Amino acid sequence: MEGRSALCFLVVLTLLAASPALAAERCEEEHFFSLICMDWLCAQECASQNPDMRVNAAYCTAKGVKRYCHCTMCYK
């Protein structure tokens, strides 16, 4: 009886580990030069450059006259 209970427990753990909902998201950060830097425009450009990923965050930074878009994207 104990062996059967242990086997059921291991099967449940295996099913939970294989669940895509519990898998950790793989995310990447990207930054690039942008002439017109606006948050919504950065998000649009990141989404168009990486159609197989979704944009989690997008923001702009400026260093002197140079402007950069920063995006955090995760795989769908």
Q: Tell me 24's DSSP state.
A: P
Q: Please determine, for residue 46, whether its predicted confidence score (pLDDT) is greater than 70.
A: yes
> 46, exposed or middle or buried, with CB in 10 Å at 0-12, 13-18, 19+?
buried
Q: What is the mean pLDDT of residues 49-75?
A: 93
Q: What is the pLDDT of residues 8-26, one digit of tens each?
A: 555 554 555 555 555 578 9
* Domain span at 9: 2-75
Instruction: Tell me the pTM.
Output: 0.62
Question: What is the pLDDT at residue 69?
Answer: 95
Overall number of domains in the chain:
1
Nearest-5° Cα angle at 22, 20 to 56: 85
Mean pLDDT of 58-68: 92
| Residue-wise burial string across 19-34, b where 16 or more C-beta atoms lie within 10 A, e elsewhere | eeeeeeeeeeebeeeb
Mean pLDDT estimate for the chain: 81
